[in-house]
Every structure is written in structure tokens, then in C-alpha cells.
Amino acid sequence: MRQYLMTIALLALFISTGSCRKDFEYAPSYGNLEFSKDTVFLDTIFSNIGSSTYSLKVYNRSKDDISIPFIGLKQGETSSYRLNVDGVAGKTFSDIPLMAQDSLYIFIETTVTLQNTNQFLYTDILQFDQGNNSQQIPLVTLVQDAIFLYPNRNSKGEKEMVVIDVDADGNNISAPGFELKNDQLHFTNEKPYVIYGFAVVPSEQQLILDPGARVFFHQNSGMAVRPKASLKVNGALSSDQELLENEVIFEGDRLEPEYGNVAGQWQGIRLEEGSSSNTINYLTLKNATVGIFAQGESSLSSPTLTIENSQIYNSSKINLWGKTAYIEAKNLVVGSAGNSSLYCNLGGSYSFTQTTIANYWTESFRPNAALTINNFEPDGQNNSYGADLIKADFKNCIIDGNGDFEISHGSNGSNAYNFLFSSCLITVNENNIPSKSGELYQFEDDITYKNSLINGLTEFEDTQKNNFRLTSTSEALNIGDKIDALAIPLDILGTERTESPDLGAYEFFELD
């Protein structure tokens, strides 16, 4: 027992002696730090918009505990970069300890303001120690100037609000936004446009976009086109399919690569009831919530939207939604989305020729088919109201996806329901046809499903990148109707298709 007590006492003495040490002994750094990067590139940002946070890891490979005498930005407090070292924010730091065989994270952000320039390379130096022992890591950011459009604020600091929708009870739904002024109704390709809130095209006005125009939308932002107003997107065919130099592009305002394929970054485009003669040519629209929502008026006397040579993809809900709308589309790609790629809702009149409708969404459960068509809508009180589906014509189209059934019909049995699929490839599970409306899925009927191929192999190039070009093994090759193809002799890339037309927006050709 005495020996046991003596052992406990010695152990306690050893612990108390060690705990009395007030500090570790650190050797100064002698310029022998190692780093996870030799340069920190902060991806392209817009002037006045903060970057994402980037990291640099600093290693002490030695067997000694060291102290880094100085960590800081060469431009000091005037630098537009911001640092966080070991959980502390600042621009300069002194005597930072780093244990032997240990590492340290430094987090870096920036916000840069530019004037009178289109693009600018903003740089600074992250310094470790000074004098002969100095080590340096360059910081590099490409800053792009832009035209910023945003809501005004009143005397109380409150943002200007605009009506963007109406709820089920008829109450207005408002959001921060502003009406575009007369001198803001022509978007050129000289500088990109960055929109905060909802940009509204006023009644009796039209917004014109030149070839090569770029429009970036901040989070929860979008565009609304009022009744008797219109949107004119005048893009053109590009020679470089990576740069898309002549195409008009709508997307979110985060330029970092990790945001390149993130759905739901902005709200989308709303063509309000009474807005007509909207025309879109060579537009790429991506990463919205609802890409384009087009609400037609009941008379359907003129097209709500004419869209050609365009692609809409990676919307968190729906890429193209027509509600009692009159839509004409040619050479259109509506790719993956969190719900339907294309939604023809509450009747209307629709004509889609040489269109690729393909939904290979993998980010979450997708509740609906790539193509959804109906002529009625619930009113939220266990009732529904309907409108005539004057026509829903699909010619030389592809309706495909990674789901079991990529076409969905919904007829109330009272309003007109007219549709045609002519020379289309349609992906369905014929063993799972809905019994309630099975008459709408009679794929052997050569009147409503004329010359259509059911469950053919599409064989796209890369569905996860929304690249829906056809490959040489696709069963969609050479089976298009020639008369319908003659009306659109060139595909979305300008390739001639009149001899043996393929289905969809792309005509297959062998790459060099």
C-alpha cells in the first residue's frame, strides 16, 4: 500500500511540474516553411462583389516548434484582400506559433472596386517573415467590370419593391426590384450586366439584347416582362462552342468554377400574362429556379414566345414552363431540371420542332416526367379549372431521360386536348401506362404518335454536362421527317440536316 501511495504521489508531482510550464519554447522561422500552393488564384469576380473563400496551408516540416515573426499582405491595410489566420481576421499578424510537423490554414477573400476598365488583374503578395528569411505567395484575382442594375432605397433604407406574382387568393406577391428606364432597355456586349432583385420591363416597352450580351443575376433575382412589353434576345451562332462569343447568356453571378453547375442560383425570367411577341434566338440560360415562365392570355391571338437555337438547363424546378401560353420552338434544347424539363400547363398552343427534351437530373428525387402536358390545374381547394389545349405538336423531337416514364399527360376530359408526336423518340415504360388516362398513351396509334420510336437508344455525348449532342450509335439518327426538317434546314450549330435528318436539336457529324 505504501509503495502504491508513493507512486501516486510521484505521478502527481510530475503532472503539477509539467503544468507549471508557462509557455513552449519556439525557435524563430528561418524561411523553411512549405506551402500547399505556390500561387493562390482567386477565380474571376465582378467589381464590388466579394469572392468565395480560398485557403492556403502552411507546413512546418521541421522537428522544432517555431514562431513565424510576420504574416501579412504586402499592401498592408490598403489591400483589397482579407485574411484569416488561425481563426483571427486581419491583414497583418505577428509571432504566429506553429508546432513541429504541424500545419496552419490561412483563409483568403477579396472584394475589388474598379473604375473605367473592362478587365483587370488584381494582385498582392502574402508575406511570411521579412528580410533575408522572407517567403512570398502571390495572390491573383481577375476582376471584371460590369454594369450593375439594382433597386433604389427610400429614406428609411428600404429597398424598392415590385409585384412579381399573385397568390391563390389574388394577393400580390412582391420582391425587391425596379423598372428598367428608357436608357437601360438595350443590353450590349460591351460589358456584362449584373442584376440585383427583379428587373422589370415596363408595359409598352421592349428589352433588346445584342449578340454576345452577358446577363448575371444575383441570388433571388430575375426578370419580369409586363403585359404589352416584350423581350428580344438577338443572339447569333458562335464559331467557338466553348466561348459562345455571339450567344446571349443568362446565369447566376458567381463566376467561380464550383458554381458552374449549381441549380437555383437565381429565380428566372417571367413573361407575364399579356406580354407577347417575345423572341429569343441563340440564348443559353442555366442554373435558375424556373428558367422561363411564360403565361399567355386566353385569346392566344399571337405567340407569347418564339424561341429558336437556344438551350435551357439545370433549373432547380422547371426549365421552360408555359401556362395557357402560345409557344413556338425550333432547335431548342431543354435539358436536366429538378422537376420537368418542359411543362405545358393549363392548355394553350405549343409547337416544338427539332427539339431535344432530355432530363438526366441526379441531384435529388425528380417527381415528374421530362415532358409534362395538361389542360387543367387545381385551385388549392380540391377543385380544378381547365383551359383548352388547342395543340401540343412535337415534330422530329426527342423526349428522353433517366426516369421510367418521360412523358406525362393530364386531361380533365372536359376541355379540348389535342396533341401530336410525329417522328419522335419517346422514352416510356409501356408496362406502367396510367390506367386512368391510358387512351392518351396509345403509342401504336399512327395519328397521335405518327412514325414515333418508343424506347430507342438516344446515346447522348454527356448527359451529366447537359451535352445532348448525338453519338454515332444513337437510334435517333436519320429517322426525322424530311418535310419538317426542310422548314429548319440548319441545326442549332449551323449543320445542314436536309438529306437524312436526325431527331432533336443536333444533327450528328463526325468531329475532326
Q: Which residue's entry shows cell 429565380? A: 267
The answer to whether the CB of 197 falls within 8 A of the CB of 159 is yes
Closest to 481 (Cα-Cα) out of 457, 498, 456:
498
Q: Predicted confidence band at 383 (pLDDT cuts at 50, 70, 90)?
A: low
Q: Predicted confidence band at 136 (pLDDT cuts at 50, 70, 90)?
A: very high
Model pTM?
0.86
How far, in Å, CA of 423 to CA of 470, rounded? 16
Q: In the sheet where 54-60 sits, what is the strand order?
A: 34-35, 54-60, 102-110, 81-85, 88-90
DSSP assignment string, 43-94: EEEETTSPPPPEEEEEEE-SSS-EEEEEEEETTGGG-SEEEEETTEEESEEE
Q: What is the mean pLDDT of residues 345-367?
A: 97
Res. 2: pLDDT tops 60 = no
Cross-strand pairs, 58: 35, 104
The answer to whether the CB of 318 falls within 8 A of the CB of 291 is yes
Q: What is the mean pLDDT of residues 196-205?
A: 97
Res. 385: pLDDT tops 90 = no
- Burial label for 27, CB within 10 Å (0-12, 13-18, 19+), is exposed
Res. 18: pLDDT tops 50 = no
How far is C-alpha 44 from the chain's CA centre? 17
- Backbone CA torsion sign across 370, 329, 274, 206: positive
Closest to 226 (Cα-Cα) out of 173, 275, 268:
275
Q: Selecting from 2.60.40.10, 2.60.40.1180, 2.60.120.380, 3.40.50.970, what CATH number does the domain 27-144 have?
A: 2.60.40.10
Res. 62: pLDDT tops 60 = yes
- Residue 264 CB: number of other CB atoms within 10 A? 19
How far, in Å, CA of 444 to CA of 431, rounded? 14
- Domain boundaries in the chain? 27-144, 147-486
Q: What is the mean pLDDT of residues 196-217?
A: 97
Residue 310 CB contacts under 8 Å (≥ 6 apart), including other chains? 235, 280, 281, 282, 283, 284, 285, 331, 332, 333, 492
* Among the ranges given (20-34, 156-170, 201-215, 264-278), the one the predictor scored with the smallest mean pLDDT: 20-34
